[in-house]
Structure 1
């Protein structure tokens, strides 16, 4: 297991096989685990990097009416990617999620991020894992299925386009867990005229359907990592389901969004990924929260 730097303020990035790394972590030592594993789509996941070049005949307009064209970056600076296909997806996930259950603190929460193709199989697996100890049924430890809905990208022509991901929220104890709803961001009412000016101005807390755009391929938040998730989604989870000073673990860490959400809000992070590309992205993104090179 290769660590990118010494422990500082509880923040670490590990370049490692996550199963091996998880087995070395202490039991009941982490308050929030967020995982965004491969979705088993059968495709190579990649997000190409784009650059803009001044061109009066270009395809987009910038500041002052100047025209630019976009080009796809190739070679070393191209976006990262990976093959998202498993012969035995649950066989791959199960030992890792069993370790996650062991590591989760008594009042801790697990957020498991997946899509419609595998969510039903994964929920049955997690129900079984969360039934292992404590006399609780896994189904009782299941708190919510949150739908993250977005509206971006191509439209299917032969079926309803899939524009959502699924987040399964489990707690180690079905009755004892952190849920700081007052810390949650507020969102606009869909029909503000029905609730009055005061409520409309204050907004409301979200339900189990979260409308949030994806990371824009040309936005400031982008890192170039293929499956980067929006910071707003992870900040909502971190602020509501942990307290300041607690630790957030993501062992499919990818671009490190969970780490940034934790650090920005006074939490510690432990990020694990087996990809050197992912670790390179995370080290650059989270440099302000990690030790300086000596």
Structure 2
């Protein structure tokens, strides 16, 4: 088991996240951010799924969504979309690990697109309890080609769940503020300070020519992740990203005085993070170096 404390280095790990996360201690992270691959090319495969209503308290069930067991909710959703099971079978164990790793006052941010967000919301309610749901954040942007056969899809969805609805940390005053959309309607003092963001975040994607660009194809902008870290953690807290990609969460955490563990199975991603985060220790799962 790895040690995560004040003396531990910031860490980047090359490895499969389901191999790495079990080596991390329970409740070590105040923020866990998951940005899994979007399910854009689901296979047309059918899996046999039995929706069994088990007794509450059975060792293999978790009671959640309106008292129905998790297995039943999962089975019902498979009836609506037989292609979904492949994706959820991939994501579910990683979410369970993320939940184990969350501190009692911790927050989970799950970043998805429109293809899976609605399925994930129902299943997360069943898995972790509806009371644990805090927000649906819409990250809206206006960049790239636009369809003329439907409304162009220009947003991602970030589902926010808290480990304990009575104890989670949230500091709205620490979050970067936005300019007022109608500045003439507020006082000069308010205009200078800006307004608190809502659950709709208008933020550009990473500029192809900007200094923030690393060249990694799925890179997310620092401004989006900074809000999560500012609101849901304190200086010195640990944050985790087990689909780390270009390491944006680590860059934000470092700038804000937080500590981080980043995991990715792609050597190219780890090379990007090594250059972007030169102060972090870099390991390969199974070698310790």
TM-score (norm 2): 0.79
Stretch moving more, 121-130 or 151-160: 121-130
Contact 2:170 2:231 in 1 (8 A): yes
Stretch moving more, 201-210 or 119-128: 119-128
Equivalent residue number for residue 67 of structure 2: none
Shift in alpha-carbon separation, 1:217–1:87, aligned structure 2, 3 A: farther
Equivalent residue number for residue 123 of structure 2: 125
Write out per-residue CA displacement over residues 114-135 of structure 1, whole angstroms, 9 at most, x where no aligned residue. Answer: 01110011112221221xxxxx
Note the 1:127-146 alignment, pairs <5 A: 127-130=125-128, 138-146=129-137
Equivalent residue number for residue 237 of structure 2: 246
Equivalent residue number for residue 47 of structure 2: none
Distance in structure 1 (CA, Å) of the matches to 2:8 and 2:96: 27
Instruction: Give every structure 1 segment of 4 or more consecutive aligned residues whose post-TM-superposition deviation is greater than 4 Å.
Output: none
Equivalent residue number for residue 115 of structure 1: 113
State the 1:196 CA deviation: 2.2
Contact 2:9 2:280 in 1 (8 A): no
SS in 2 for 1:271: strand
Equivalent residue number for residue 219 of structure 2: 228
State the 1:288 CA deviation: 3.6
- Residue 261, structure 1, aligned to residue 252, structure 2: yes
Q: Considering only aligned residues, what root-mean-square deviation do their CA atoms show, in Å?
A: 2.0
Contact 1:225 1:254 in 2 (8 A): yes
Shift in alpha-carbon separation, 1:88–1:220, aligned structure 2, 3 A: same
Q: How many residues align?
A: 239
Contact 1:8 1:290 in 2 (8 A): no
Contact 1:101 1:129 in 2 (8 A): no
TM-score (norm 1): 0.77
Write out per-residue CA displacement over residues 120-161 of structure 1, whole angstroms, 9 at most, x where no aligned residue. Answer: 11112221221xxxxxxx111000000001111001010010
SS in 1 for 2:90: helix
State the 1:290 CA deviation: 4.4
Equivalent residue number for residue 28 of structure 2: 29
Contact 1:94 1:125 in 2 (8 A): no
Residue number among 88, 97, 100 corresponding to 2:98 in the alignment = 100
Distance in structure 2 (CA, Å) of the matches to 1:86 and 1:140: 25
Contact 1:13 1:271 in 2 (8 A): yes
More strand per residue: 1
